[in-house]
Structure 1
C-alpha cells in the first residue's frame, strides 16, 4: 500500500532500530519531522544549532556503536554542521546525516537556499548522495546505513528533496543488511610478519582506535607483551590499551611530526595497528622509521596502509582476529633468549612508569592547596567520589594529563577523548554518551574556549533532563595555542615574548555558571580548593544536568602578565 516517502523514511528508521534523531528543524524537512511524531519509539532530540546536533550524535554513536541519524536544515544547516562532520569522519563515527531541500522540480530556479548539498558534504563523508526519485528513497537510505557502519565506519550524507518525500512511495520496509568484516589474513603472511618482528631488540607498536572498534584490546596487549614492545598511540581517542599498562607510553605528537619522529626512528621493527601514520597537523615528510627497520601494518582500511610510507607487510584484516593470529605466530618463533630480552624490556618500562608516576603525584601533592586551583586536585577528588563504572568524555585538552592520572582510561567504553581537531565536542558529546547509556554516570570535561563553541547544548540537556555532570576547565585562555606557538618560536628561532592577545579569554570574564543557569541548568563556580569536594558531591547527587565552572591555573603564564606583575 502506497504512503508518502516521508512516512516510509520514518518506518525504515524504526525498522533499523533508530531510537534518537538529533537535529535542528527546518521548513524543507517539516514533512519528515511531522511523520516522525507518529513514531513514539523514535525520540527527536532538538538542538539549537546544527554543529551541536552532529557532535551530540557523534557522542551517541561512539557510545552505542551503531548508526546514528542526524537531521540538518538544507544548505545553511549543513554548512553549520560540516566542522563537526569532519570530526566524525576523522573519528570514524557511523553518522547518517540527512538534509532536506525544496525539491527536484526547483533545481533550475536557483532559488533561495539552493545549494549543492552533495558537493558540500562529500569532503567530510565516506559517501554523499541525493535521492531524486520516489522509487529509491529507502533503497538509498539502507545503503547509507550500510556504508556508515561498514568498517572503516564513518559519516554519510543523504539529501532528501521535499517533493520526493511528498510523493507516493511503494517501497517495502526491510532491515538494512550489514556485511561482516571479521576477516583474517593468510597464515603465510602472518608468519612473515612474525619473522620480521620476533628478533627485534627495539620493537615498537603504534596503535589507534581501530583496535577499540574491533574490541582487540586484549589481543594488542598480548602481542605487546610477547614482543616486549612499547605501545604508542596515534589517532587514539578511546581505550585501546589500559592506560596503566606498563607498556603504554602515551601519544605520539598530535601537532608536530618531529616529536613523533624522535620516538619512531629508535625502533628496529615497527607494528602499526588500527591507525594511520601519522595524524599530526605538521607531519614529517620523510625519515620517520630507521633505515632497514621492517614495518608491519594491520588495518581494515586499505587506504591507510602504506598511504604515506612503504611497509613490508600490509594486512587488510580485522585487528582482533589478526593480532590473535600474530600472537600465536610470535610465540612459536620467539626463542627463550628472545623471551628473556622482552621480559627485561617490560621490567624497565614498568620501573620507568612507576618513577614517572611517583614524580607527577609528588608534584600534584605540592600544589594541592594552590590558588588558583591545580586541575589534578579536582581530578583526585572526583575520582574518590565517582563510581568505578563512570564514563568520561574528555575535551580538556591541555588539562587532560592531570585528569588521566586520577581518572585513567582503563576500561573499554569508559573513556572517550576528543578527536579530529574541532573544538566544542565536550558538552554535546557527553550528552550523546548519556543518551546511548542512560544507566551510566557520565562526566563531560571541556575547556573555556571549547565550551563557548557549543554552550547552548546545555539547553538540550535541560529540555530532556539528561543527567550529566559538565566540568568547564576555565583558565581564561586558549591554552593549547600558547603551547603550540612556543614550539613555533623555537623552530623559527624567535625569542619568547607575550602571546598574541587573541589567545586571552579573560576580558570580559566568562561566567559559565551564569550561562548554565540562564538555560535552567544548575551550576556552581569553584575557585578555591576547599570548594571542590562539596561541589562534586552536589553535582553527582543532583538528578539532572549540572555544570561546574572550574577556575584553574594556566600552565603557560603570559610573559606580558609576568612582566606586569614584576613591575607592580
Structure 2
C-alpha cells in the first residue's frame, strides 16, 4: 500500500537526504509502517538513525549538512518533541543549515472516523492550537500536510526554501489520518525544484569596491562564514593575494582562509580590546558576517569606507543590526568574489602599492605566529593553547575539528590553525550543546575522516552525552571528544565582571556557576557508549592521552573522551 508516508519518504530520497534522525512517537504509526514496507520490498529510502534525545538528532543533522552541504531530515514527536529540539533549532537557523524537520500532529478525529483516529489518552493532552508557532520564528518555511495527494510537492517546496540562500531549517507537520491516507504515486521532475540561483553584484558595485581598495593603504576583508562554501574560500584567497588585502575573521564558524597564508590576520571574538588590524583599516569589505565587530569594544576607524556583501545583508531575523556601510549588496560570496577577481585581473593596478600591503600584512602575520608559539609552550599547569598545539601535530589533512569551547573559542582555533577547506566548524549559533551531535553527523557525512569535537565542560553537559555516545557506538560514528574542564561556566563570570568590574560579584568566590567537584565526564561516555575514557591532569600526560585517543578512534572504531583539567574557572 502506497500512503502519504510512502510519498514523504520518496520525496526525501529524491531530495538527496541520506539520513533521517528520528525520535518516533504515537503520531508516527504510518511512517514506521512505510519504513518497514520499503525495507521489505527493497525500495531505497534514507537511513534511519534513532536519536534518544531530539536536540542531539537535530545537531547531528546540522553537522552532516555543514560537512556535506546536503540537507538532512529530522523526525520528532508532536509538540513535545518539537520543544525537545531546544537550542538546536536556534543553531540550525543562525548557522544557516539546510535541515527538514517533520513532526506529527495529534489526530483530528476521535470516534474512529478515519484510520489513525485517536486511541491513546496522550493524544488529547498533546493537541495544541499552533504547534508550528513553537518554531516558526526560526524556520525558513513551515507548512502542514492537509492531504496525502500533494505531500511530495510540499516536501520539495520546503527543500527549495531550505537550500536557497539564506539557507536554513524548515518545519512540516502532518496528523496521523493524513499520513495514513492511501494515495496515487506522483512523478516529480527534480529539475523544477532546484534552489534559487545565487545573487550577484551589480557592475557598478564591482567597480566601486575595486576602486576603493585600489586607492586604499590598509584594506581588509572581515568574514565569519564565507568558507562554508569551499569555492568562496578559494576565490577569497585569490582576491586577497591579487590585491594585497588582509583577512580578519570575526567569530568564525567555518574555515574561511588558510591560517598559514601571510595575509591571514587572526580572529576576533569577545576579546575586550580594540583589534589593531581593524583599527588601522581604511577600507573594510564585510563578507558573510553576522557580527563583524562589537562596536562598544572594537570597530573600524571613523573614516573607514565600509562595503557589505551578504545573502542576507539586512539580517531580517535580527531586530537590531546595522553597520556604517556606504554600500550593501545582496549577493552570494563565491559569485561576488568571482566577479571581483575577473574584473581585478583586467585592471592596471599599482603593483608597488600591492607589494607594500602584502609585506605589511606578512609582517603582522609573522609576529602573530611568534606570539602564538610562545603561548603554546608548556607551563606548570595545563593550558588550552598547549593541548591544542600538541593535537595539531597529530592531526593530518583528513581531520575535521568542531569547536564549542566558548571562552576557549579563540585559543582552540588559533592553535589548531586549520588550512584545508571543510576542516573546521562551529555551530554558527549561540545555544550550547551542538558539539556531540554535530560530531556524529560530521562522521556520518565523512566516514574516512577523523572527527574531533572540542568543548567546554558546560557545553559537554548541554550536549546530552549519554545519548550522543550511545548513538556514536550504535551507528559506528566514532570521534575524539575533548572536554576542557575548568569546573564551571566561565562565560557568565566574564559577562558579569565586564559589566560590574568593581561590584559585589567581583569580590565573591562563588557566583553559582561552578561544577566542583565535577561529574566524571569521560566515564559518562564510557558507560553510555563504550568510549575510551581518560582524565588528563598533568602536562606530561597530554601527548600520550592524545595519541591513544586518536588511535582508539582510528583503529578500534570507538569514541574516546579526554577530560582535560584546566585551572579552575
Q: Aligned match of 2:326 in 296, 303, 312?
A: 312
Would you say the 8 A contact 2:165–2:196 is kept in 1? Answer: no
SS in structure 2 at match of 1:365: coil
Deviation at 1:148, TM superposition (A): 0.4
Q: Aligned match of 2:74 in 40, 60, 70?
A: 70
Q: Aligned match of 1:504 in 489, 514, 527?
A: 514
**Aligned positions of 1:170-209 closer than 5 A:** 170-174=184-188, 176=190, 177-209=193-225
**Cα separation, 2, equivalents of 1:483 and 1:235:** 17
**Cα separation, 2, equivalents of 1:380 and 1:310:** 38
- Find the counterpart in structure 2 of residue 541 from structure 1: 551
Q: Aligned match of 1:86 in 85, 90, 94?
A: 90
Do residues 357 (structure 1) and 369 (structure 2) align?
A: yes
**Aligned positions of 1:396-545 closer than 5 A:** 396-453=405-462, 454-456=464-466, 457-490=468-501, 496-498=506-508, 500-507=510-517, 509-519=518-528, 520-542=530-552, 543-545=556-558
**Cα separation, 1, equivalents of 2:296 and 2:101:** 34
Deviation at 1:499, TM superposition (A): 5.0
Q: Can you give the 5+ residue segments of structure 1 that lack an aligned partner in the other structure? A: 559-568
**Cα separation, 1, equivalents of 2:376 and 2:277:** 27
SS in structure 1 at match of 2:534: strand
**Cα separation, 2, equivalents of 1:347 and 1:398:** 32
- Find the counterpart in structure 2 of residue 54 from structure 1: 58
**Cα separation, 2, equivalents of 1:205 and 1:511:** 43
SS in structure 1 at match of 2:354: helix
- Find the counterpart in structure 2 of residue 565 from structure 1: none
**Cα separation, 2, equivalents of 1:402 and 1:58:** 24
Would you say the 8 A contact 2:496–2:505 is kept in 1? Answer: no
Would you say the 8 A contact 1:232–1:249 is kept in 2? Answer: yes
**Aligned positions of 1:41-440 closer than 5 A:** 41=44, 42-105=46-109, 111-115=124-128, 116-174=130-188, 176=190, 177-213=193-229, 215-234=231-250, 236-254=252-270, 264=278, 266-278=280-292, 290-291=301-302, 293-301=304-312, 303-304=314-315, 308-309=322-323, 311-333=325-347, 335-336=349-350, 339-367=351-379, 370-371=380-381, 373-440=382-449
Structure 1 length normalisation: TM-score? Answer: 0.87
Would you say the 8 A contact 2:451–2:479 is kept in 1? Answer: yes
Larger CA deviation: 399-408 vs 509-518: 399-408
Give the paired residue count: 543
Cα pair distance change 1:168/1:191, threshold 3 Å? same
Deviation at 1:149, TM superposition (A): 0.7
**Cα separation, 2, equivalents of 1:358 and 1:253:** 20
Cα pair distance change 1:363/1:383, threshold 3 Å? closer
**Cα separation, 2, equivalents of 1:101 and 1:204:** 51
SS in structure 2 at match of 1:311: coil
Larger CA deviation: 470-479 vs 226-235: 226-235
Deviation at 1:92, TM superposition (A): 0.4
Cα pair distance change 1:380/1:271, threshold 3 Å? closer
Q: Deviations over 1:288-328 (max 9, x none)?
A: 65555433222223534996245333332332222122234
Deviation at 1:209, TM superposition (A): 1.4
**Cα separation, 1, equivalents of 2:418 and 2:496:** 29
SS in structure 2 at match of 1:549: strand
Structure 2 length normalisation: TM-score? Answer: 0.87
Cα pair distance change 1:417/1:301, threshold 3 Å? same
Deviation at 1:502, TM superposition (A): 1.8
Would you say the 8 A contact 1:198–1:333 is kept in 2? Answer: no
**Cα separation, 1, equivalents of 2:478 and 2:189:** 32
Would you say the 8 A contact 2:249–2:266 is kept in 1? Answer: yes
Deviation at 1:237, TM superposition (A): 0.6
**Cα separation, 2, equivalents of 1:209 and 1:36:** 37
Larger CA deviation: 84-93 vs 101-110: 101-110
| Alignment RMSD | 3.0
Q: Can you give the 5+ residue segments of structure 2 that lack an aligned partner in the other structure? A: 111-116
